[in-house]
Amino acid sequence: MSSALRRVATAAQPMIGIAALIAAWQAASVIAANPTLAPPLGAIARQIAAMASTDLLNDVVASLVHLLLGYGCGAILGLVLALLAARSEWFAAILDPYVEFLRPISAIAWIPIAILLFGVGRGVPVFLIFYASLFPILVSTLDGVRSVDRGLINAGRALGASRRLVVTNIILPAALPSILSGARLSLGVAWVAMVAGELVGADAGLGWRIMWYQEFFSMDGVMATIVVIGAVGWLLDALLRALQRRLLAWSPTTGARG
Amino acid sequence: MTVAVLRLAGVTKTFRAPRGGGDVVALSGVDLDVREGEFLTVVGPSGCGKSTMLSLVAGFAQPTAGEVLFQGQPVLEPGPERGVMFQDYALFPWRTVMGNIEFGPYALGVGKAERRGRARELIQLVGLEGFEDRYPHELSGGMRQRCALARMLANNPTMWLMDEPLAAVDLQTRIILQDELLRLWGDGGSAKRSTVLFVTHGIDEAVLLADRVVVMARRPGRIKAIVDVNLPRPRAAQRSSPALAELVGRVWDLIRDEAVRAIAEETN
């Protein structure tokens, strides 16, 4: 009985935060009394509804295509480079300076060069997403593989595991928590880079839609698109979190909770 | 009867000190013959190199000098004929009890039906029925130990290498597991016993289980004495025998001074 109550309370917690935000926005729009600067909630909601019946789906799909291409290539390359670096000290020594030099540079800084290289279109956001998502998963995977408990590897070898089996059946599962949290970090920065790339270097997508609304001076539209960007980003993270919970059901820390 | 299944000849192991300084000599000139089917326990104060010795026999590391021979062949790497049970169990956290126990046969290419059957037998033998699908973090300390024991046995190793396997449980559980370990080994007088190298810091335990107790000293790690335990088996019946108590006293006399010094250094 009290545990059921507690579960309801736990589920309600995020709602409280959202409700507070909505209330604060509504209050701000009333105080500002300037529908251009702070459009009231009703206007934003109406705008989202209007978008849903016109271009919203196209915009979301265009963005997801950018994300899929950029994040797919970036995350896979990051994972592969990390595994190679973990395998060969020699390769790690070569890779390290590149990673440490490029990693702190924001993907956004590459926009002028990306536009020059790819022109306005799909190339710019895909490149930016690729660049942004490469490093978090790379660094996190490398850390994870390097910190695999020596005892587990020894246990496997004493049980007769070949070197290949040690990699596939011990090192990879042991590093999986780090790989997945790296994948989540990468997805987060990829989503940010995607919007930035689409704002200035694309001809479709949610970021591009923000600029489109700006040209019509429609702050309702800008705000509505921002809300959609936040919602879809949250949804994608929730998907990865669910995957994490599913794959790490064995882990005492991740398996039980989120 | 007197075939040495395992021979350590002049085994020395040094480690490079992490930050400058000289090398740390973990083992120095260790000579030891272990007979087939023998239960050998190794005791000594912390830092005497007893775990290092075990990992050399397991093949996790190579001696700096000297030789480790198993069945006449130098030990160059780990192998399934030398099963290991670790102090912290080293169970694979992403594998269930069943998955952990069948990993050895799986690694050796045993077919699924056969390794499942073998794992089920072992689960019954160590009393883990009903827990086949649990993950290690869902087990108690004693159950993890049973699981680690069954995993080690799954490959039918001819040698059992055990590194303080009962150190981390409470006294009652330890006594029960000692009896079970002896039973599984064949304390009642079974035909073919495995050879056991059992590292412990429990002197009572060392004497209770062993045919011979290797007493080690530190700085550098070396063998100080080997004490024969000529008590009748099964040993479970000997727990409160005066002869056992006397042997425990003898072993304790051999390591007391060093143990006191080791503790004094550790607390500094």
Q: What integer best gives the mean pLDDT of chain A? A: 91
| Highest mean pLDDT pick, A7-21, B91-105, B234-248 | B91-105
- Note the maximum CA span of chain A: 74
For residues B200-207, average pLDDT: 92
Mean pLDDT of chain B: 90
Give the lowest-confidence range in A7-11, A40-44, B31-35. A7-11
Task: Report the percent of chain B where pLDDT is more than 90.
Answer: 63
Q: pLDDT confidence of A43, banded at 50, 70, 90?
A: confident
Domain that holds residue B49: 4-78+181-267
- pLDDT mean over A11-36: 84
Q: Which CATH number does the domain housing residue B192 bear?
A: 3.40.50.300
The number of C-beta contacts closer than 8 angstroms across A and B is 73
Q: What is the mean pLDDT of residues A234-238?
A: 94
Fold of A65-226: MetI-like fold (1.10.3720)
| Per-residue pLDDT, A257 | 37
Least confident of A7-16, A204-213, B50-59: A7-16
Mean pLDDT across the stretch B194-215?
94
Q: Does any CB of chain A come closer than 8 Å to the CB of residue B252?
A: no
Same domain, yes or no: B198 and B260: yes
Residue B191 has pLDDT above 70, yes or no: no
Residue A92 has pLDDT above 70, yes or no: yes
| Confidence check: pLDDT of A149 > 90 | yes
Q: Hey, which residues 114-173 in chain B have their CB within 8 Å of chain A?
A: 135, 137, 151, 154-155, 161
Q: Which pLDDT belongs to residue A256? A: 44
Let me know if residue B168 belongs to a domain.
no
Which of A159, A172, A253 should one mutate to test binding to chain B, selecting the residue with the greatest count of B CBs within 10 A? A159
Residue B165 falls inside a structural domain: no
pLDDT of residue B256: 84
* Residue B124 counted as domain residue: yes
Percent of chain A with pLDDT over 90: 71
Q: With the CA atoms of B254, B260, B265 and B268 taken in that order, what torsion angle do they form, in degrees rounded to the nearest 10?
A: 180
Within the 67-96 window of chain B, which residues sit less than 8 Å (CB to CB) from chain A? 77-80, 82-84, 86, 88, 90-96
Q: Is A174 on the interface with B (CB under 8 A)?
A: yes
pLDDT at B1 over 60: no
Min CA distance, A165 vs chain B (Å)? 7
Indicate the residue of A161, A176, A251 with minimum beta-carbon distance to B107. A161
What was the pLDDT predicted at A258? 36
Q: Where are the domains of chain A?
A: 65-226
pLDDT computed for residue B172 by the predictor: 87
In this predicted structure, the answer to whether residue A255 has a pLDDT above a threshold of 70 is no
pLDDT of residue A220: 87
Same domain assignment for residues B234 and B251: yes
Of A151, A249, A251, the CB nearest to B88: A151
